[in-house]
């Protein structure tokens, strides 16, 4: 994937973060699913719609279609990620061949005009392309719908080092026991201190935890100061993981509390290895986004004016964007991470130890709302971003058996 395209997509992700997480509720979104669709539309647009789409994309409209194809090809090569683009048109809608030829192979299908038949076909496509994570195409379709352009992204990865999972009580803050109950806690230890780092953005510091996946994608948890807005926290995290701002690993940070949720000190140890103790929570987030609500963010303000057509490069028939939506879901658990999005644009050790050494210990806890970013390790493309407002609650069961199993795992655990 070209650096220029990756930077453009990440810039849209950052701008979207400021809007999507504004109210502090849980959310997940992927600009990597929206950007190629906007680029394909820009290629066929004219007038103000073309100008606005190019501004949202961050690249000229003349090069947008090629950049979209290049990005989609790059996404196909990401291990654990499935991506697809689909185009459905009314059988009576003429398409400009030059524009249609620029679509990925196998993209085109036909709308029958029967609402139930078309709805079933679109929903089936969404479910198949996301492995069932998203069951419904987020677009309204009826006999007046002329064109539906959609993308699907589904990401599944497993952790190199799984977490231990058990019922957890959080002592203070919005997730304290009295406020939400018993949460599904996740924890693990590692000797790799720099899995956690701190970055300083203009809006304040953030602590980042890198959770390494078994493919080419990692998930970064992002914790800001309690008073920081979700949007600012996510934007700072995006700047850090894309290396737009520097971050400092825990091995070089001062002792004390150098970042949100992070404490570093010296402790007795039987060997010379430092260690990092990680505590977080399992989470599941679902969201649906109306891309026309902040139409200017996506360059769709003029394009959605149905009084006239805006896409002569797509069809000789006058077309305007009638709906543009994204459905997304993300799940973070002990063994791995899952995320999916469908975007559519419709027109119309034992014994007593001997402590010989003192070593550095870092402890990080994500025990209040935080952000997350799924990032392609090589290109630094942010594939998904979101905000965790609520943890997964622990389901009642045999707590004693679960705790015994958890402690057994800890006893047998080998620190990496």
The dihedral built from the CA positions of residue 387, 75, 291 and 146, taken in this order, carries a sign that is: negative
Question: Which residue, 32, 142, 136, 41, is CA-closest to 84?
Answer: 32
**Whole-number mean pLDDT of the chain?**
91
Query: What average pLDDT does this structure show over 54-59?
Result: 98
Percent of the chain with pLDDT over 70: 93
Q: 220 and 195 in contact (C-beta within 8 Å)?
A: no
Distance CA 9, CA 3 (A): 10
Q: 64-76 and 31-44 helices cross at what angle (nearest 10)?
A: 150
Domains of the chain: 3-156+284-347 (3.30.497.10), 158-282+354-412 (2.30.39.10)
Which DSSP helix (H) or strand (E) runs through 117?
helix 115-129
Read off the pLDDT of residues 322-373 as tens digits, 9 standing for 90 and up.
889 999 999 999 999 999 999 998 886 445 556 678 899 999 999 999 999 9
Q: 325 and 139 in contact (C-beta within 8 Å)?
A: yes
Q: 379 and 1 in contact (C-beta within 8 Å)?
A: yes
Q: Which residues sit opposite 365 in a β-bridge? A: 279
Distance CA 376, CA 31 (A): 14
Q: Which residue has the tokens 């039987």?
A: 270
Q: 321 and 67 in contact (C-beta within 8 Å)?
A: no
How far is CA 2 from each of CA 9, 181, 298, rounded to the nearest angstrom? 11, 46, 21
Name, in order, each residue with C-beta under 8 angstroms of 3's C-beta and a sequence gap of 6 or more.
Answer: 379
Distance CA 246, CA 200 (A): 8
Read off the pLDDT of residues 275-334 as tens digits, 9 standing for 90 and up.
999 999 999 999 999 999 988 999 999 999 999 999 999 999 999 998 899 999 999 999
The larger pLDDT score, comparing residue 201 to residue 346, is at 201
Confidence of residue 58 (pLDDT cuts 50, 70, 90): very high
Distance CA 212, CA 166 (A): 21
CA 314 to chain centre: 30
Mapping DSSP to helix (H, G, I), strand (E, B) and coil, where does residue 134 land?
coil
Please report the pLDDT score of residue 107 as a whole number.
85
Read off the pLDDT of residues 106-133 as tens digits, 9 standing for 90 and up.
788 999 999 999 999 999 999 999 999 9
């Amino acid at each position: 994937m070209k650096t220029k395209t990756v930077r453009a997509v990440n810039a849209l992700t950052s701008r979207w973060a400021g809007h999507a997480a504004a109210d502090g509720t849980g959310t997940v979104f992927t600009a990597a699913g929206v950007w190629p669709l906007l680029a394909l539309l820009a290629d066929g647009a004219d007038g103000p719609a073309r100008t606005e789409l190019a501004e949202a994309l961050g690249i000229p409209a003349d090069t947008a279609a090629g950049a979209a194809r290049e990005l989609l090809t790059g996404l196909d090569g990401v291990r654990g990620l499935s991506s697809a683009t689909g185009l459905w048109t009314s059988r009576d809608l003429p398409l400009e061949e030059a524009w249609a030829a620029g679509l990925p192979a196998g993209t085109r299908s036909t709308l029958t005009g029967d609402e139930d038949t078309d709805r079933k076909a679109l929903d089936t496509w969404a479910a198949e392309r996301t492995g069932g994570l998203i069951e419904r195409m987020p677009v309204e379709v009826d006999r007046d719908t002329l064109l539906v352009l959609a993308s699907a992204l589904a990401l599944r990865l497993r952790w190199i080092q799984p977490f231990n999972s058990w019922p957890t009580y959080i002592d203070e803050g919005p997730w304290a026991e009295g406020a939400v109950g018993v949460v599904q806690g996740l924890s693990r230890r590692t000797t790799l201190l720099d899995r956690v780092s701190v970055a300083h953005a203009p809006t304040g510091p953030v602590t980042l935890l890198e959770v390494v996946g078994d493919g080419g994608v990692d998930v970064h948890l992002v914790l800001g100061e309690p008073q920081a807005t979700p949007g600012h926290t996510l934007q700072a995290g995006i700047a850090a993981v894309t290396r737009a701002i520097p971050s400092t690993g825990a091995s070089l940070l001062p002792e004390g509390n150098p970042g949100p949720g992070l404490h570093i000190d010296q402790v007795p140890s039987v060997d010379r290895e430092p260690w990092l103790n990680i505590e977080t929570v399992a989470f599941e987030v679902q969201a649906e986004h109306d891309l026309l609500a902040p139409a200017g963010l996506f360059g769709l303000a003029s394009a959605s004016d149905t009084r006239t057509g805006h896409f002569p490069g797509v069809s000789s028939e006058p077309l305007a964007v009638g709906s543009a939506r994204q459905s997304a879901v993300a799940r973070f658990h002990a063994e791995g991470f899952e995320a999916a999005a469908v975007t559519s644009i419709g027109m119309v050790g034992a014994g007593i130890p001997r402590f010989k050494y003192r070593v550095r210990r870092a402890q990080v806890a994500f025990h209040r709302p935080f952000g997350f970013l799924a990032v392609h390790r090589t290109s630094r493309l942010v594939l998904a971003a979101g905000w965790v407002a609520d943890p997964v609650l622990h389901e009642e069961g045999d707590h004693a058996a679960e705790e015994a199993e958890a402690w057994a795992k800890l006893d047998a655990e080998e620190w990496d």
